[in-house]
Amino acid sequence: MDNMDISKIHPAADQPRKVFDQGKLLELAVSIMERGVLEPIVVRPVGPDEYEIIMGERRWRASQMAGLTHIPAIVKDQSVEEASADALVENFQREDLNAVERARAIKKLLGFMSWEKVLKTLGCADSTMRRYLDLLELPDGILNELTVKPQAGEGDFIEGHAYALKPLNGNLKLQLRLAKKTRAERMSVEDLKKLIASIAEVPDKTEAFLRVPLNVTEEILRGIHRQVQKRKPYQPKNAESHLKTMQKACLSVLDLLDERVAMHLPAKELNQMLSSTADLAEQISKFNRGIRDALKKTDIQFKEIYIHCPLCGRIELIGSMRCSVCWSVLRRCLDCNHYDQSYQRCNKNHSAIFMSDAESPSETSPSYKCTDYDPVVEVQAAA
């Protein structure tokens, strides 16, 4: 080991590490000033009084920062390929080497080693090595993004994000905008994949998708899907399942309709909420008109009379026969203006109806499909 003149040493041109953390270099420089260089660097002669670093460029740089004029070094008389291999392996094994530098190190080794020998030398799995090399199929602009540290308030742009952008190779401008959006909105890899899939599905909306948050993109897509679905022939076999899903969704929305939320939101959010509910109300109104028209065509006795279910209180049309929630019979003689409780009879058709049947009717009860049913109280439903 020699204590060599630091000015006669220079880094290798093909050194795999291209990015050095200045903060960590400064920490190492401070340590060197206090304790010296604890581990010598390794160099090889490349000319008269000239040496190239094989291992230890960080220590060499930090020593310069610390103001050292000499540095402990071990001289090895190696060929370019041998020195390159040692440097690549040494750097590959460092935890702080980024993915791009690792990929380039592997590619360099494959220039003078077989695939199997590189695997053995680096001690990594075949799939890991292939994944690193796949990264190099991305344009340099995206590879550079992997080496950039996030600014305050930004998220990381990691390998997973970069791999997600591979299908967009050939459109670097879009890839870079997506990388910037990923950082700015702190998007996960899965979020980025969803956004890319949205762009692929509706290319005409690319600019909109790039400008709005992912949740808005998903809402735009839902709107598009609704329109596309409505243009397709309806499958009658889906009608019953469709009805159940709608009823469940309606109950969920009803649970959320609590105007007290307005007391705790600023005007901007209240405007957004009203826009959403107004749009929903308009679509429901349009849907209801279609259902009314269908009922009028298929049920000549249709009357839009809403009543409370006697058991669970749900608002139902009397034409429903049974409550959709608790399945109770809706038309009860007990709730009809024609029923005389004292004489337990119907004043309209003068038939006898016992109180037990009037209060808890079944499908065999006179009230079940009674066309003269006239509820004591009608409930006003939304138009």
- Give the pLDDT confidence of 78-134 residue by residue, as tens digits: 777 777 777 777 767 665 678 888 888 888 888 888 899 888 888 888 998 899 899
Q: Are residues 172 and 56 in the same domain?
A: no
Q: How many CB atoms lie within 10 A of CB 209?
A: 23
Q: Are residues 201 and 297 in the same domain?
A: no
Q: Are residues 374 and 326 in the same domain?
A: yes
Task: Report the domain count for the chain.
Answer: 3
Average pLDDT for residues 193-198, to the nearest whole number?
A: 94
Report whether pLDDT(153) > 90. Answer: no
Q: Is the C-alpha dihedral spanning 189, 193, 199, 200 positive or negative?
A: positive
Q: Are residues 13 and 76 in the same domain?
A: yes
Full DSSP string of 130-161: HHHHHHTTS-HHHHHHTTSPPPTT-----HHH
Full DSSP string of 50-61: EEEEEE-HHHHH
Distances (CA, A) of 37 to 8, 34, 69, 199: 17, 9, 12, 53
Q: Are residues 191 and 122 in the same domain?
A: no
Distances (CA, A) of 347 to 99, 278, 287: 88, 45, 38
* Candidate from 11-20, 36-45, 101-110, 327-336 with smallest mean pLDDT: 11-20
Q: Are residues 20 and 118 in the same domain?
A: yes
Q: State how far the Cα of 163 lies from the Cα of 189, in Å rounded to an integer.
A: 9
- Give 44's strand partners: 52
SS3 content of the chain, % helix, strand, coil (to 5): 55, 10, 35
pLDDT band at 262 (very low <50, low <70, confident <90, very high): very high
Q: Are residues 190 and 131 in the same domain?
A: no
Average pLDDT for residues 246-258, to the nearest whole number?
A: 90
Q: How many CB atoms lie within 10 A of CB 10?
A: 15
Which of these three, 88, 113, 135, is where a domain ends? 135
Q: Are residues 192 and 98 in the same domain?
A: no
Is 181 part of any domain? yes
Is 25 part of any domain? yes
Q: State how far the Cα of 110 lies from the Cα of 314, in Å rounded to an integer.
A: 73
Q: State how far the Cα of 49 lies from the Cα of 56, in Å rounded to an integer.
A: 19
Report whether pLDDT(231) > 90. Answer: no
Best CA proximity match to 125, nearest among 115, 135, 134: 115
Is 267 part of any domain? no
Q: State how far the Cα of 307 lies from the Cα of 314, in Å rounded to an integer.
A: 8
Is 250 part of any domain? no
- Please give the pLDDT value at position 94: 65
The pTM for the full model equals: 0.56
Q: Are residues 189 and 74 in the same domain?
A: no
- Please give the pLDDT value at position 383: 53
Residues, the chain:
383
Report whether pLDDT(6) > 60. Answer: yes
Kindly list the catalytic residues: 57
Q: Are residues 175 and 130 in the same domain?
A: no
Q: What is the CATH number of the domain that holds 94?
A: 3.90.1530.30
Q: Are residues 7 and 121 in the same domain?
A: yes
Q: State how far the Cα of 333 lies from the Cα of 372, in Å rounded to an integer.
A: 10
Q: Give the tokens for residue 216.
A: 């808005």
More confident residue, 21 or 49: 49
Average pLDDT for residues 349-374, to the nearest whole number?
A: 93
- Please give the pLDDT value at position 272: 87
Residues 6+ apart with CB under 8 A from 26: 62, 65
Is 253 part of any domain? no
Is 200 part of any domain? yes
Q: Are residues 209 and 302 in the same domain?
A: no
Is 57 part of any domain? yes
Q: Give the tokens for residue 29.
A: 């420089």
Tell me which residue range forms the domain holding 339.
Answer: 277-383
Is 43 part of any domain? yes
- pLDDT (tens digit, 9 = 90+) per residue, 352-361? 999 999 999 9
